[in-house]
Amino acid sequence: MEMMIRGRRNRRSGAIRGLVRENRLAVEDLILPVFFHDDANPVEISSMPGCTRWSVAGLVAEVLAVYEMGVRAVVLFPKIEDSLKSADAAECANDEGLVPRVIRELKEACPGLCVITDVALDPYNSDGHDGLVVRGSDGGLKILNDETVEVLCRQALCHARAGADIVAPSDMMDGRVGAIRMALDEAGFSDVGIMAYTAKYASAYYGPFRGALDSAPKEGDKKTYQMDPGNIREAVRELLLDEEEGADIVMVKPAGPYLDVIARLRDETTLPMAAYQVSGEYLMIKAACAGGWLDEKAVVMESLLGIKRAGADMILTYFAKDVARWLSEGTFR
């Protein structure tokens, strides 16, 4: 066959493929979500094989180990004791609570670590929702927006006082990014960043996470504040609002089923973009690999590279420690 152009010439060896590769995954791209509780004993999370709900001491040791592997950012997810949960979620702003104590421990043990905190009320709310709840005239639940934002500001300030580098409001209340930015600035925390959960969808992929923290809603669902999975223009609208309100980083969650949303928002913003490979994505890969149907390393790396290719600058993934090891071994080509 007489062909001047042959695409396969650029694929014929690992060295050549490396030269022409358009997107690369690096350990610096990774953020590790970590679970912890106020108990001396770690607990293996049955809904997320390979993940642990750590004690405070165990968490510090794990994070130090991961830091040495090159993963320099973690996001904190606490399991709060039932006795501390209430309708007003007051524990979320307790300066001596679990999260502030963990922040201080982590920053003391590893000053160079980037500590990101989840700002939402579901771990503290006796109703299990991301916002304050009242009963509507129709008997159904109503999630209060403006009153919730006031509490979220107090929570963000609590985390900032403890030393958090970035606060990440995941609640999807209207106006919370701007309100938190103003509260942080007025309190002298203008250097604390905001990673906004910009397009957080009302997804069926969150189930294993809620099992890990016992944070599922006691009644109803989250569809009145999290986004409809059928919408993409709405994600652009949320992006524009978060930009105007002072977000430093924007996020799409989940990642894998919403690669088109990541790509669309990438075209709409110059802000750094995060994507969250959520617990359901993690569990599906783990389950398929445990059954011998897939090669775990190959599938994990391909899934993360796909998220990166879609436009994410950073990825929150429970595979971060494994990926750091694989990258250091140079076993992915």
Q: What is the pLDDT along the chain (333 residues), one digit of tens a residue?
A: 899 999 999 999 999 999 999 999 999 999 999 999 999 999 999 999 999 999 999 999 999 999 999 999 999 999 999 999 999 999 999 999 999 999 999 999 999 999 999 999 999 998 878 899 887 777 778 899 999 999 999 999 999 999 999 999 999 999 999 999 999 999 999 999 999 999 999 999 998 887 777 666 777 788 889 999 999 999 999 999 999 999 999 999 999 999 999 999 999 999 999 999 999 999 999 999 999 999 999 999 999 999 999 999 999 999 999 999 999 998 555
3-class secondary-structure state, position 306: helix
As a whole number of angstroms, the distance between CA 176 and CA 173 comes to: 6
Cβ-proximal residues to 82 (8 Å cutoff; 6+ apart), any chain: none
Kindly report the pTM of this predicted structure: 0.95
Report the length, in residues, of the chain.
333
Domains of the chain (ranges, CATH numbers) = 24-329 (3.20.20.70)
Cβ-proximal residues to 139 (8 Å cutoff; 6+ apart), any chain: none
As a whole number of angstroms, the distance between CA 201 and CA 275 comes to: 12
Q: Could you give the residue numbers annotated as active site?
A: 200, 253
As a whole number of angstroms, the distance between CA 166 and CA 11 comes to: 41
Output the pLDDT for position 136. 74
- Tell me how crowded residue 57 is: count the other CB atoms within 10 A of its CB: 12
Output the pLDDT for position 331. 53
